[in-house]
Amino acid sequence: MSTVNTIHPITALTPELETVLKEDTDRRLRNLIAANINTRYARNSSQLSDFRLAIKDKDVQNDESVLSDFRRLVPPTDYESYRPFFEKFNSRPCRSAEVENMLAPSFPTHIPLSSATSGKKSKQFAKYFRPQPYLPGPSLRVRVTSLMNTFAYRDPVDVVTDTGEVVTRIPVCNESTGVMRAQNKWSIETDETRMASILPGHVAPWATGFILHHRSFLLIHALFTLANTSVEGITLTFVVTFMDMMFRIEEEWSTLISSIRNGTIPDFEQIDHVRTYLEPNMHADPQRADELQRIGPPFSSPGWAQRVWPNLKLLTCVCSGTFATALPQARIVLGPTIVIHNPWYACTECLIGRNLNCGDTETFVVAADDLIEFLDMTGEQTHGDVLQARDLQSGKLYQPVSTTHDGLWRYLIDDVVQVIGFDPRNGLPVFRYSRRKNLEIRLPHALITEADLLSVVCAFSREDIVEVQEFTTVVDERRLPLTLGFFVSITGNLGPNVKSARQKAFAALVTTSDEHQIAFDTEEFGLPTIRIVKPGTFADYRRWRGESTKIGASQMKLPAVLTDPKAQEWMAERVMTEL
């Protein structure tokens, strides 16, 4: 890919850029305060009581001291400060007089659920209309895209008047679903008019997004994508979802080829509710079927995707952090020329950053849609230590703090990022993801971070040992002394040096902290264990978690640390071999 337009971060802000960044940051905070100061949350939250008192007689739009009051008096908040206000949306009936202007003006456009990465109960949020929609970072232009996104939702929240008249219906859904619906004005009331339609530039009918069964969701999307020779882009939530689809295609290759040849929809599970919308869009194409048959299934040869879709140039998905372990296998399937694009760094709560350069899956620039502040991870944290973007230093670790148009708070995001410089165009910090703050393994002798776990996997994931595709970890207490346990999915066969895997893992762990070696020598800590799960286990985990939490499986993540005892038991039952 050409590097003509590549942005190279600078290591420190110039005085001019620092001024620009300060003015922009102040403007955004001023607008957020003015927009949300009269909401129920802003008027009643105990977290904002000192701030309310300080600005009681001030002009929030023009008095500069309001900004310093906010930064001085509003502490970082967590979900518990938000929960009592959101719970009003769970009341039945949900009365408009009790929820209008709750966290932002008017009513939410959707209520997203967090994907409960850590195994805890999903958090619910309220998202409001955004005049300026989220736009992705720099990317390649494509004309025909296979968009693999769910459009399904749970029973909507009906907001009613005192007389029972419905004022609005708020879908409960994935954040990506809600954002797409809001930005494209795809209301749930008009879904039926789109079900049999293929939107311009897409390849599968709208109804495909209402398949909840994960395996069938992937296979029906795969069917329409395989049938289309003009595909230039594939867009899905995570790179592991792309690999899930490749494995499903491999399993059902003959069925998919037959369906393309005959123009039929296979009898996959739980698709009867959309079959009548899918069938008119599936047309017999014996020539395409013969072509695919000659090429073979995804793992028959490297660069398979380029042969199947000659015009394919872009795979768009989240693929940083622990998801990066699936990138080597995805690259084999895609071949060397197709760009893998990580569009943004986001969570259910907010958008944190956009990719800095197309094709660079690890580097992001802080988003300027709302306000992202930062806590320095090197010291004891208090709300007086919340830093502005212009205060950051290259090379240091920070925890993002978010204030958005969805609520006048300073919400702590449970991530840690490393600033590596600043955007020379506007001074915004450039960063890389480091780890989840709440996905750490705490052992009696040491703390193991998500970044540590990834480095350990990289140490033993080698062709001559075992090639890891995905992993998750637990505290393994099956035998004493306790140790760090890995569940891994692999590609290919075990290598000739597979017996060295546990020692390699331990050696890599010791490089993160000498305390591991000390604990090992005193028999407080054992060699890490490595259990290989059956093929498709992690895809089934996403399906199982998606069905059990009623969140779309395409939104489910495999956590780096598996804390839920039921999930640990479920995973252990699917172990194929232990190294």
Is 260 in contact with 289 (CB distance < 8 Å)?
yes
Residue 448's pLDDT is 84
CA distance 270 to 211: 7
Residue 195's pLDDT is 95
Residue 116's pLDDT is 46
User: What is the number of domains present in the chain?
Assistant: 3
Is 402 contained in some domain?
yes
CA distance 206 to 20: 44
Do 468 and 330 lie in one domain? The reply is no
Last residue of a domain, one of 437, 466, 498: 437
Do 194 and 336 lie in one domain? The reply is yes
Residue 531's pLDDT is 95
Do 446 and 433 lie in one domain? The reply is no
Residue spans of the chain under pLDDT 50: 1-4, 116-120
- Which range of residues forms the domain containing residue 263? 145-153+190-341
CA distance 465 to 530: 12
Residue 384's pLDDT is 57
- Where do we find the tokens 């949306």? 89
Is 231 in contact with 146 (CB distance < 8 Å)?
yes
72-106 pLDDT, tens digit per residue, is: 999 998 888 898 999 999 999 999 999 999 999 99
CA distance 206 to 142: 19
Residue 445's pLDDT is 73
Is 529 contained in some domain?
yes
Do 318 and 385 lie in one domain? The reply is no
Do 316 and 231 lie in one domain? The reply is yes
Is 168 contained in some domain?
no
Q: What angle do CA 342, 20, 64 make, to 5 degrees?
A: 115
Residue 548's pLDDT is 61
Last residue of a domain, one of 437, 452, 467: 437
Q: Residue 402, CB half-sphere, CA atoms under 13 Å: how many?
A: 24
Is 240 contained in some domain?
yes
Do 432 and 477 lie in one domain? The reply is no
Last residue of a domain, one of 296, 314, 341: 341
Point out which residues pair with 488 in neighbouring strands. Answer: 471, 532
207 Cβ neighbours under 8 A, 6+ residues apart: 195, 196, 274, 277, 278
Which one, of 484, 549, 479, lies nearest residue 510 by Cα? 484
Residue 536's pLDDT is 85
Residue 1's pLDDT is 41
Which one, of 523, 436, 451, 533, lies nearest residue 483 by Cα? 523
CA distance 142 to 133: 20
What's the mean per-residue pLDDT of the chain? 88
Do 323 and 389 lie in one domain? The reply is no
Is 93 contained in some domain?
no
Is 279 contained in some domain?
yes
Is 172 contained in some domain?
no
Strands (E), 63-138: 94-95, 111-112
Is 98 contained in some domain?
no
Do 329 and 385 lie in one domain? The reply is no
Do 375 and 499 lie in one domain? The reply is no
Do 567 and 460 lie in one domain? The reply is yes
Do 305 and 376 lie in one domain? The reply is no
Do 290 and 327 lie in one domain? The reply is yes
